[in-house]
Structure 1
Amino acid sequence: MDGHGRGTRRDRYGIVLALLAVVILLVPVDSSALRPLVTALLGAVLLFAQRTSGARRSVMVTSAVLAAVAVVVSGGAQGFDSETAVSVYSITVILLCLATITTIGVHVLRDPSLDVHIVLGVIAVYVLLGIAFAGTYSVVGIVQGGFFAQGGADDDAVNYFYFSLITITTTGFGDLSPVTDTGKILAALEALIGQVYLVTVVALAVSGVTRRRRA
């Protein structure tokens, strides 16, 4: 691929991260009106990631259909009881995040170059992991009748998202903790994935870019 094509692709992972920044601002807002918008943004993230990764047209069409269905289902579910609406919304968020993570991951593995373009994709995966785990905690909380051990902590989008981010970054303030064994295992898994990802994938990508610039 020529230099012009590469330049265009670099910019697109920047767009993916910009969309994710908006998602991060909107996900904690526990409003049924915003849920279809967040789902639509994650669908756009998936499509931008696939376009940047050079996905086949058939794959992109399939993903566009998936994103559209996710938005419709997420929006339609808001008419049901609150637990059903939140569950459907959380599941659509998880699926879109995992689809995008897979897209970027496959591209990174296939692309032998290490440049800022790849680093942005690697960072996007890290953010998507945090969002996906937040959705997972929400589903677990609904299924098991509560997620947090702290009696005064609400099982809402803000706390799930906050808990996921401090867990994946292994910050661990200690103000929130899961009450069930399932929650504890998931939190431990997220912390392990987050730590290993930072010290391996992100570190290797950044060091590779640094070596290329020095060469």
Structure 2
Amino acid sequence: MSTGGENAPVSPRGGSTGAHGRNAQRQRVVAFSWLLGGLLVTYALVITTGERLLGSFARTVALALVLLAALRIRRLSRGRTGAIAVVSAAAVVVAALATAFARGTVLTVLTASTTLALVTVTSSLVIRYLMVRRARVDLATVLGVLCIYLLIAMLFSSLHEIGGALVAPYLGGTSAPPSPGDCLYYSVITITTVGIGDIGPVSNLARMVTVLEAVVGQLYLVSVVAAVVSGWRPGVHRGAA
């Protein structure tokens, strides 16, 4: 009798915990879906409006919203949440001031720097979730890995923007300096090793950044992405960690 009495409450608690875990998993999938969608929208903005004056500001606003969306991935302390909100707001303010008062090299460097900051902070949130919080592979993990891949390409795109603004000539087959759309396009074909050939590195700095991106992209694909995809079993649900 005593044994049965001790075991009786376990099932309701376990059921409640299981339901809570499934609900939390769904929330993480939704959060990563918004994050992935926001990054794709940002890509479209850079490609279509990158050469326009307001295009740089629109990109910063989009990435700031992506960073805020990344806060939904996991709970953070109030201090960290506040700090990330400050980073997002500061990036938007810097981009707004740069759009209003800066031109040429200064505008490019400031805009690319805000992109670097936002991409780095967003990546750190996703990586922390993937490396620390997850003991298994689920849909949220797969979406997170894909988000990191897009963030890596955007990070190197910003480095190419800065390099193109400071070094001339930097890339061949583009205007001087290369537009944000050209830099993102070149970054994507580099990290995916497509090698179309219409745009290529001219300066030593461009070659160095290109080689680094190609190596990072390939290592990421053959290690992280391959491991995650091979371990993913769609439709198999386990208790949340």
Unpaired segments ≥5 residues, structure 1: none
How does 1:17-28 map onto structure 2 within 5 Å? 17-28=36-47
Given candidates 75, 83, 86, the residue that maps to 1:62 is: 83
Instruction: Classify the secondary structure of the residue corresponding to 2:232.
Output: helix
1:54 Cα deviation (Å)? Answer: 2.5
Deviates more, 1:28-37 or 1:159-168: 28-37
Decide whether the 8 Å contact of 1:53 with 1:104 is kept in 2. no
Provide the residue aligned with 2:183 in structure 1: 160
Provide the residue aligned with 2:33 in structure 1: 14
CA distance in 1, matches of 2:62, 2:81: 16
Decide whether the 8 Å contact of 2:139 with 2:234 is kept in 1. no
The TM-score, its normalising length taken from structure 1, stands at 0.93
Provide the residue aligned with 2:230 in structure 1: 207
How does 1:179-194 map onto structure 2 within 5 Å? 179-194=202-217
Instruction: Classify the secondary structure of the residue corresponding to 2:172.
Output: coil
How does 1:28-177 map onto structure 2 within 5 Å? 28=47, 29=49, 30-78=51-99, 79-110=101-132, 111-150=134-173, 153-154=174-175, 155-177=178-200
Please say which structure displays the higher CA radius of gyration. 2
CA distance in 2, matches of 1:135, 1:180: 16
What does the per-residue CA deviation read over 1:80-139, in whole Å, with 9 as the maximum and x for residues that have no partner?
A: 222211110011001111111111111100111210101101100100111111111010
The runs of at least 4 aligned residues of structure 1 exceeding 6 Å deviation read none
User: Matched residue pairs, number?
Assistant: 213
1:214 Cα deviation (Å)? Answer: 10
- Residues 12 and 196 (structure 1 numbering): CA distance in 2 closer, same or farther, change over 3 Å? same
Identity among equivalent positions (%) equals 28
Unpaired segments ≥5 residues, structure 2: 1-19
1:178 aligns with 2:178: no
The TM-score, its normalising length taken from structure 2, stands at 0.83
1:36 Cα deviation (Å)? Answer: 2.0
